[in-house]
Amino acid sequence: MVQLTEDLITKLDREAAERGMSRSAVIREALEAHIAAREHDAIGEAIAEGYRRIPPGTPDEWGDLELMADIAGREAAQRLDQEERDAGFDPW
């Protein structure tokens, strides 16, 4: 049993009639949607908390990944440049 105001019952009855559903079905659907939205918000908050706790780019047990990506990119560009020179292409 759930106690509802007269105004809410009127709105509930209107919604149920417009959708061809029972009061119970409308209430169940609304409650499921509300709980799903709260669960979705909780997951989003947990993800955001993880980023607050360990901001992107923070070195960890794998090392400084951004620095390693920069170094790897620079080394790849240097290798490609050398390959072009070896193939007889002039540098830009």
Q: pLDDT (tens digit, 0 to 9) for every residue of the chain, 92 residues total?
A: 889 999 999 999 999 999 999 999 999 999 999 999 999 999 999 999 999 998 887 877 777 877 888 889 999 999 999 999 999 998 76
Cβ distance 16 to 24 under 8 Å? Answer: no
- 41: containing domain: 1-53
| Residue appearing with tokens 């980023």 | 51
Stated pTM of the model: 0.57
The CATH number covering residue 15 comes to 1.10.1220
**Alpha-carbon distances of 55 from 21, 42, 48, rounded to whole Å:** 48, 19, 10
Q: Are residues 3 and 40 in the same domain?
A: yes
Q: Are residues 17 and 29 in the same domain?
A: yes
pLDDT of 56:
81
What is the domain count for the chain? 2
pLDDT of 67:
81
pLDDT of 63:
78
Single-letter amino acid, residue 58: T
pLDDT of 78:
92
